[in-house]
Amino acid sequence: MAKIAILGFGTVGSGVLEVCRRNAASIARRAGEPVEVKYILDVRDFSSSPDAALFTNSLDTILADPEVRVVVETIGGTKFAYPYVRQCLESGRSVCTSNKEMVATYGAELLALAKAHGAAFLFEASVGGGTPIITPMHQCLAANHISRIEGIVNGTTNFMLTKMKHEGMDFAQALKIAQQLGYAETKDPGDDVDGRDACRKIAILASLACGHHIYPDAIPTRGIRDITVADVQAAEKLDCAIKLIAWYDEGANGAMAAGVEPMLVPEHNQLAGVEDVFNAVLMRGDMLGDVVFYGKGAGKLPTASAVVADVIDALKEGAQVHDSLFWRPAPKPAAPLQDPGVYSWYIRVRGVAAALLPSVAGAGTPVFEAGGEAGYCIGAATAAQVEALRSKLQVLGGELMLALKQLDD
């Protein structure tokens, strides 16, 4: 019988225990032996729990028990999770985690540490929740070179943008509903609405695609706080939907770029129809072409099921899994990754008449003019050119309020 330990007994941690018990027979069949939770590490008081005997507040208890072969980390963050995971890997125990921040920040180091100590470090649930993305990428797509990734990887913001589109809600109203439903944090929803969650996820996927570590803080990131109902309506006039897109592009001559930003997605693009809390990730392989992974990006049992699937793989494959699941360490770049691409853009400006925009912003199409603001679609420009537009507008007493790229077909 394989004994495992769970670090952190929140939503995902409790889900892991539930999945292990509810699907014990099928898990044992796939793992080749029964899998049992022996310890749960949590500093809170669970003395009244029916499972009180499983709880410990000391990692040393777990590390001292040779029966524990796999540790599941669901604490979140890096303050405690990172040193705990290091100790577990150094002891030769495999670790399975849903912790996107830790994987995005320390992934290369922890992958190397796992292999050096004959263990597995697995993190399927860190990107797609219960939707498999990591495993298909390093196994099923192993014969492909992945040059482009683009996707909707944050269900909270996608839910909010869906509400703004179909029900005419503004940002504040949509956020309130998301918080009431438990999709967004009530105290600080910044990880979702400011794009940090999506940034960590694309950092993981980009690292796996290019083979070396891509740091989250090197990826230009902005969220959806500046999106208004007028922008959503303007996008519809342009036969587009606004989506928070996380993307990676290998670029020419190795000049890779990545970003997280709200973008105009043409209605004929598969990502435009992804709504509510669903996620979708498109990958472009040189042999296969485009493939899309689609599903809910979160939830207690879906996420826990992905973690437990990793436990099965860790028990069966151990460090051998890192023959395909790896990326190399890399130095932090001196500056954020730059996107040199040329795109169509939607801009919203304040204080400058729509009639003046062609002479200031270049050839394009007016979209709307109301309440002292104007929407305008630029035919082709780089990000640097759009940024330079900001100072031109200021000279005229205006202000660039929003600029959105249009996702390439």
Whether 312 and 263 share a structural domain: no
Domains held by the chain: number: 3
CATH number, domain with residue 228: 3.30.360.10
As a whole number, mean pLDDT of residues 281-291 equals 95
CA triple 247-251-256, angle to 5 deg: 65
Report H helices in 267-347: 300-317
The proportion of the chain whose per-residue pLDDT surpasses 70, expressed as a percent, equals 100
60 in any annotated domain: yes
Flag whether pLDDT at 252 surpasses 80.
no
For the segment 314-331, the average pLDDT, to the nearest whole number, is 95
| Structural domain contains residue 90 | yes
pLDDT mean over 203-213: 97
Helix (H, G, I), strand (E, B) or coil at 401: strand
**Would you state the pLDDT for residue 298?**
75
Residue 62: per-residue pLDDT: 98
For residue 399, pLDDT beyond 80: yes
Domain ranges, residue 306: 2-130+300-323
Would 369 be classed as within a structural domain? yes
Q: Which of 323, 358, 380 corresponds to the end of one domain? A: 323
Q: Give the CATH number for residue 389.
A: 3.30.70
Residue 130 pLDDT more than 90? no
Does residue 328 lie in a domain region? no
pTM of the predicted structure, to 2 decimals: 0.95
**125 and 143 co-located in one domain:** no
Give the CA distances from residue 52 to residues 10, 55, 60, 155, 182, in Å, rounded to whole numbers and listed in that order. 15, 6, 18, 34, 27
Same domain, 146 and 286: yes
> Does residue 45 have a pLDDT over 90?
yes
Catalytic residue among 163, 201, 300, 405: 201
157 and 239 inside one domain: yes
Query: Residue 85: pLDDT above 70?
Result: yes
pLDDT of the residue at 269: 95
Q: Is residue 178 part of a domain?
A: yes
Residues 319 and 346 in one domain: no
Position 254 pLDDT exceeds 90: no
Mean local confidence (pLDDT), 350-375: 94
Q: Are residues 177 and 228 in the same domain?
A: yes
For residue 299, pLDDT over 90 is answered with: no
User: 253 pLDDT exceeds 80?
Assistant: no
Lowest mean pLDDT among 98-107, 113-122, 352-361: 352-361
Arithmetic mean of pLDDT over the chain: 95
Same domain as 163, residue 289: yes
Q: 291 with 169, same domain?
A: yes
Query: 192 and 143, same structural domain?
Result: yes
- According to DSSP, the β-strands at 278-285 and 342-350 are unpaired
pLDDT tens, 366-375?
999 999 999 9
Q: Do the domain assignments include residue 205?
A: yes
Taking the chain, what is the end-to-end CA distance rounded to the nearest angstrom? Answer: 51
Q: Are residues 86 and 186 in the same domain?
A: no
pLDDT at 13 > cutoff 80: yes
Q: In terms of domains, do 144 and 248 share one?
A: yes
Confirm whether 169 is domain-assigned.
yes
Domain with 65 in it: what CATH number? 3.40.50.720
Nearest by Cα to 161 from 177, 149, 150: 177
**Interval 211-234 mean pLDDT:** 97
> Which pLDDT score is estimated for 409?
66
Q: Is 201 a catalytic residue?
A: yes
Residue 408 has a pLDDT of 81
Q: What percent of the chain has pLDDT over 90?
A: 93
Rounded Cα–Cα distance for residues 168 and 175 (Å): 13
Residues 31, 19: contact at Cβ < 8 Å?
A: no
Residue 192 lies in a domain: yes
Residues 6 or more apart whose CB falls under 8 angstroms from that of 141 comprise: 283, 285, 288, 291
292 and 304, same domain (yes or no): no
